A and B are shown apart, each in its own frame.
Chain A
Amino acid sequence: MVRLSGHSEDDLVRRLLAGDEGAFVFVYRRWQAPIYRFALHMSGNTSVAEDVTQEVFMTLIREGGRFDPALGSLSGYLFGIARNHVRKRYDRDRFLVPFIENSRDDGRSNGHAGRNGMHPSIVVAPVDLGRGETIAMVRDAVLSLPGHYREVVVLCDLQEMSYEEAALVLACAVGTVRSRLHRARTLLTEKLSDLQSPESKSAAGGMRQ
């Protein structure tokens, strides 16, 4: 394969649109995993994540000419497409299947929405939880957020995008991203506060230095 890592994003897109398979494979392998994880964290469903990933790059093949490097990065362009496909998928499927794939039904759920309207599967842990279980709780808590809050958490906290990058993906102002993220994290903190062990709280307190 031609060495492409030194090429600009604009050049890569031009090459792939001209039929350069090496450029396409390079772009796909560079961004497929972040796109997949974005779709997975937004949907909670691996099948949806695969479908969305495929649709994103099909769109790039068909309509990559719309990418304008002056308006933002290629990753922002791809995440924007992914976001649209996730929303379409959600609109299409929400009446057919549960949106949360990994819901637990371990007897702790009372079958009703919890406080702040969270998903019934997100429940307060009565005892200290192991790390894996905590991660599962966090995953479910993220999935229980309203979509416009969930996407800022996924982009800024899980994908580690800056406010500016997330604003480009979401086509909104930086201030909007910041305020949504603040609200989303407040909701998450409320959902998860009872899950934190004293050790983790004290450890977090020590992070300030």
Chain B
Amino acid sequence: MNCVQFQEIVHDLARDAGLDQSARRDALAHADSCPRCDELLAEAQSLTTALRSLAAKDGTLGASERVEVALIGAFRQQSGPAVHSNRPWQWGLASVAGLAALVLLSVLVLRHPVVSPPTHGNGASATPSTAAVAPESAAVSQLPDASVESAANANSNFADADTEYASAFVALPFNGETAPVGDEVVVRESLSPAALANLGLPVSEANAGENVLADFVVDEDGTPRAVRLVE
């Protein structure tokens, strides 16, 4: 082995890697006979020692616990939807139903000023406008008699109104797995403008200062399934 060949493998020799026994023996023999190459080997071995010291010093370092917590959270989030990915149609159905309900209710609320309440002072008749919609709907027709009675009783609590107009019931988004079982009841609520806004319904200037009546079809477990606005 000559000096050029030695210099090509000096770092392999110093790292004790990548050389077979024969090549290693030849290289060491050359270093013993060549002071310059012996010095090169000593420098390379010192470098190996220094790098191993650095590796040993940093050997216990690792990412903080914060990273593990964040990653496990991300892992759970990533794995979560996969568990339910066999029912994507439910999400689509709920979205469509919600959108339809929102559009219908928005139209009704925006047209609120057109339906003038009966006025007693000027003798004008309380003629319903075209905005008044038939009060019954498919949702109501599915209600058992008792529920209808309940709705009627609920309505009687608002007997001060001379004439009542109501929109059709519209389904609310529902993410449950079971179909309605027929134990629904109708509950009437007076919704403030803030509550309307919370439901995502627009609040017009005309109804900004007054509550709006709404009938909710509610499951036995309290889940609202449909809603209609009442006037």
Contacts and interface: CB of A to CB of B under 8 A. Distances in A.
B72 A204 contact: no
Interface string B32-64: 000000100111111111111111011111111
Interface string A161-190: 011000000000000001001100110110
Contact of A205 (B42, B47, B57, B83): B42
Interface stretch (B73-81, B108-116, B198-206): B73-81
Max count, chain A CB within 10 A of own CB: residue among B14, B42, B49: B42
B68 interface: yes
**Looking at chain B, what size class is its interface with the partner chain?**
35 or more
Given A135-B53, A200-B46, A25 B61 contact: no
Contact of B67 (A32, A139, A163, A185): A32
A21 B75 contact: yes
Chain A, interface SS category: helix
A175 to B, nearest CB: 11
Interface in A139-169: 139, 142, 153, 156-160, 162-163
B186 to A, nearest CB: 42
A58 B43 contact: no
Contacts of A28: 68, 71
Contacts of B46: 189, 192, 196, 200-201, 204
A29 B57 CA distance: 20
Contact of A178 (B18, B51, B64): B18
Given A19-B83, A135-B57, A24 B62 contact: no
Contacts of B38: 205
A33 B45 contact: no
Contact of B50 (A36, A37, A58, A135): A135
A61 interface: yes
Contacts of A57: 71
Interface residues of A, number: 53
A196 B42 CA distance: 10
Given A21-B75, A36-B61, A204 B42 contact: yes
B63 A53 contact: yes
Given A160-B55, A192-B50, A36 B63 contact: yes
A33 B65 CA distance: 11
Given A142-B54, A157-B55, A158-B51, A40 B64 contact: no
Interface string B1-39: 000000010011011011000000000100100000010
A134 B8 contact: no
A167 B18 CA distance: 14
A112 interface: no
Given A50-B63, A58-B71, A61-B74, A138 B53 contact: yes
A193 interface: yes
Contacts of A37: 58-59, 61-62
B124 interface: no
19 contacts: A19-B79, A21-B76, A32-B63, A40-B58, A54-B63, A57-B71, A61-B71, A138-B50, A158-B54, A158-B55, A158-B58, A160-B55, A163-B18, A178-B18, A185-B47, A189-B43, A192-B46, A200-B46, A203-B49
Interface of B: 8, 11-12, 14-15, 17-18, 28, 31, 38, 41-55, 57-64, 66-68, 70-72, 74-76, 78-79, 82-83
Given A24-B72, A157-B51, 17 more contacts: A49-B63, A50-B64, A50-B67, A57-B71, A61-B71, A135-B53, A139-B54, A157-B48, A157-B52, A158-B55, A163-B17, A181-B11, A185-B11, A188-B47, A196-B46, A207-B49, A208-B45
